[in-house]
Structure 1
Amino acid sequence: MLAAAVLTSALVMVGCARDTGTPQPGAAGTGTGCERNAAPAVAGGAANTAAPLPNADASGLKVGLAFDIGGRGDGSFNDSAGAGLDRAVSELGLPKASTKELTAAPNESEDAAATRLRQLVTEGYNPIIAVGFKYATALETVATESPNTQFAIVDDSSVDLPNVTPLVFAEEQGSFLVGAAAALKTQSCKIGFVGGVEQPLIQKFEAGYIQGAKAVAPNIQVDVDYLTPAGDFTGFNDPAKGQVVTTGQLDGGADVIYHAAGGSGQGVFQAVKAAGKSAIGVDSDQYNIPAYTGVRDVIITSMLKRVDVAVFDYINASAAGNLQSLPTVFDLKVDGVGYATTGGKIADITADLDAYKAAIINGDITVQSTPSS
């Protein structure tokens, strides 16, 4: 028991552990201490501005996909990227035999990442899609060496080369909506966020989640923990650590936990199920992920980061020779992010969430992408 307590304490202190807000007891009409604001009234609703490119013929392409840690089966954004490739095979005539998937190893060297990309170049794959910001340095090197090969990179816009297309998302906007959902569903006026690695991309999830929660309940308290510090990517594939840290948040009174932790989310869900509380998934509709069937009853929604849409659209635009048709950012306006309703657990609050969505799309609410100090 002492060892378990020490482990729990040590893991919670890794990276960042803090809380925001001070719940006040006795808010009228709620019985939870949360003083909830009414959803915004937005005239005209939220009209998406997506204008999808017609399906092109991709039968002549060879597409390489370099996954991040976890690869297919992570139940998160790698699976979503894979779904985009599968859709291209199904809808664009891309031969399955003309695709290849490779997967990163935890904490591998830049040389190893570059070798993986070079392998795809050497074998004639074009375009090549790197899934995850950790490929940025290796991709810049390999894309410079291979100017006649087209590349895309998910979650990074730092590589400024004519043959590299960034596929980036407004994660903070989707996270705002699930933060609002958490604040509408909490019974304790205390919720939690578990990030995989404490670095700017995952902090976008945190920032939007907290802002959305506080838009609904200004006095809500949000516990924040990261599994590993910046540079240590094992936080995206450590369910045991995710379970321990989440248990700490639940023991502290949080009753809705949102994770942006990749494969570590399995441990988050297990801890929430053991406590009989609620969880929010990320990237994919995790209620529908087969690996999560045993815990799906606690998943009330997921923040949808449509990596599948971005990968499909990129392959389609590549086949059409029109990469300029891609959006600069996959945001709410183009359905690049959103929230899941599978399971019906937030059916009673979707009108409120859609009102916040409309306010964001219309510019009435600006969602911050970095956490407040």
Structure 2
Amino acid sequence: MRKVVLLLLALMTLFSACKSGSEKKEESSTSKLKVGLVFDVGGRGDKSFNDASYKGLEKAKKELGIAYEYIEPPGEGADRETALRQLASQPDIDLIFGIGFIFSNDITAIAKEFPEKKFACVDFSIDTSRQIPENLSAITFEEQKGSYLIGTLASLVTKTGKIGFIGGMESPLIKKFERGYVEGARAINPDVQIEIGYVGLTASAFKNPAKAKELALGQYAKGVDIIYQASGASGLGVFEAARQEKKYLIGTDQNQEDEVPGQVVTSLIKAVDFAVFTTVEDVINNKFKGGNTVYGIESRGTDYIYNDKNKPFITDEIRKKVESVRQKIIDGEIKIEEGA
């Protein structure tokens, strides 16, 4: 009898061990994807680019069940390379985002250093001299074409014939916003007056609302009635100036109409949240691909807001004109070379 009991105990122990191993394997195969993300200068709370990225991350957590970790580099984001490497070095993180064009060089280098990881850079600065690694998704938008539509709108809506533009860091990316805006506005009215201002020459220009407000007040004082801002967290200062002077503005990156209700003509939106969510989803479904992914005006990945709140600005007639311009850009009748 004692031998039978011992034999049964041995079999139970063996069965238990096999079951335990099976459960661990199942847990491993269904474990959550963990994502790392490093924010652009200004971090969360900019009500613009960074917040849109975070929105995509939260959506992925809610709908796809991922876990995530993020880092907000201090100052001008000089620690971004360290932050990217810190996330890439963690064995449980499989996908790392760099948010903003200033990450382009650093994330390219880190992606080469960690070929087993996947990386994505939102607003990647495309450079023919920089080869994009196979494990890096370079996400871009058609800012210049979208801003052409914004310029068209501004030129049709302005009452004074004077419009303004305020950019954050004077850089190739923000220059695309400016150029498209100016080209679109002047295509409608060659005589439209356009005031141009930049917060600064370094990345800190994206988090200086006081300077942006000063620039906006100066433009409004010159008779400008609509300012298009592309300045990250500095845009909060443009909101304040518009509120103070009871003038109008055009937002960027996200729909910013609730920041100054009744005074936001429209916003140029870039589907940053969708891009983040889609990239995560592609990794989960083994569809991730490196290289350049463009979210443009044809797919409305770059677009302007049109809804009941801004219909007082964008009449049916103006809407038809802007949509006609959009189609001409898509068809190649209007030539806009990105970065020209």
Which residue is equivalent to 2:276? 311
What's the counterpart of residue 94 of structure 1? Answer: 65
Q: Distance in 1 between matches of 2:257 and 2:62?
A: 24
Secondary structure, counterpart of 2:298 in structure 1: helix
Secondary structure, in 3 states, of the residue corresponding to 1:107?
Answer: coil
Q: Distance in 2 between matches of 1:86 and 1:366?
A: 38
Question: How many Å apart are 1:336 and its aligned residue?
Answer: 1.3
Amino acid at match of 2:330: I
Give 1:212 deviation, angstroms.
1.1
1:203 maps onto 2:175 in alignment: yes
Checking the alignment, whether the CA contact within 8 Å between 2:229 and 2:235 is kept in structure 1 is yes
Are the equivalent residues in 2 in contact too, given 1:74–1:262 (CA < 8 A)? Answer: yes
- Number of equivalenced pairs: 303
Confirm whether residue 118 of structure 1 aligns to residue 85 of structure 2.
yes
Question: What is residue 321 of structure 1 aligned with on the other side?
Answer: 286
> CA offsets, 1:8-58, max 9 Å, x none?
xxxxxxxxxxxxxxxxxxxxxxxxxxxxxxxxxxxxxxxxxxxxxxxxxx9
Residue 120 of structure 1 aligns with an amino acid whose one-letter code is: L
1:63 and 2:35 are equivalent in the alignment: yes
Q: Which stretch of the first structure deviates more once superposed, 340-349 or 121-130?
A: 340-349
Check conservation: 2:134, 2:291, Cα contact below 8 A: no
Unaligned runs of 5+ in 1: 1-57
- Where does the alignment leave 5 or more consecutive residues of structure 2 unmatched? 1-29
CA RMSD after TM alignment: 2.0
Q: Which amino acid aligns with 1:147?
A: P
Which residue of the partner structure matches residue 251 of structure 2? 281
- The answer to whether residue 320 in structure 2 is matched with residue 355 in structure 1 is no
Mapping for residues 1-373 of structure 1, pairs under 5 Å: 60-91=32-63, 93-95=64-66, 98-109=67-78, 112-123=79-90, 124-156=92-124, 157-158=126-127, 160-229=132-201, 232-288=202-258, 292=259, 295-324=260-289, 328-342=293-307, 343-344=309-310, 345-348=312-315, 349-370=318-339
Q: Give the 4+ runs in structure 1 shifted more than 6 A.
A: none
C-alpha separation in 1, matches of 2:111 and 2:257: 37
Q: Which one scores higher on RCO, CA 8 angstroms, separation ≥ 6?
A: 1
Q: Distance in 2 between matches of 1:270 and 1:298?
A: 11
Secondary structure of 2:117's match? coil
Residues 122-161 of structure 1: per-residue CA shift (max 9 Å, x gap): 2221111110111123223322221101101111134521
Shift of 1:368: 3.8
| Matched residue SS, 1:332 | coil
The structure-2 alpha-carbon separation of the partners of 1:204 and 1:239, relative to structure 1 and needing over 3 Å to count, comes to: same
Aligned 8 A contact 2:135 2:289 in 1: no
Q: Structure 1 length normalisation: TM-score?
A: 0.77
Letter in 2 for 1:137: N
Per-residue deviation, 1:325: 9.6
Task: Tell me whether 321-330 or 340-349 shows the greater mean CA deviation.
Answer: 321-330
Distance (Å, rounded) in 2 between the aligned partners of 1:83 and 1:153 = 16
- Residue aligned with 1:72, SS: coil
AA aligned to 1:62 is K
Q: 1:125 to 1:174 in 2, by over 3 A?
A: same
Mean Cα deviation higher: 155-164 or 141-150: 155-164
**Inter-partner Cα distance in structure 1 for 2:44 and 2:239:** 19
Shift of 1:324: 3.9
2:40, 2:77 within 8 Å by CA — same for their partners in 1?
Answer: no
Give % identity.
36
Residue by residue, what CA displacement relative to the aligned partner does 1:59-101 show, whole Å, maximum 9, x if unpaired?
631111111012221111111111111222233x223xx1111
**What's the TM-score, normalizing by structure 2?**
0.84
Tell me the SS of whatever aligns to 1:287: coil
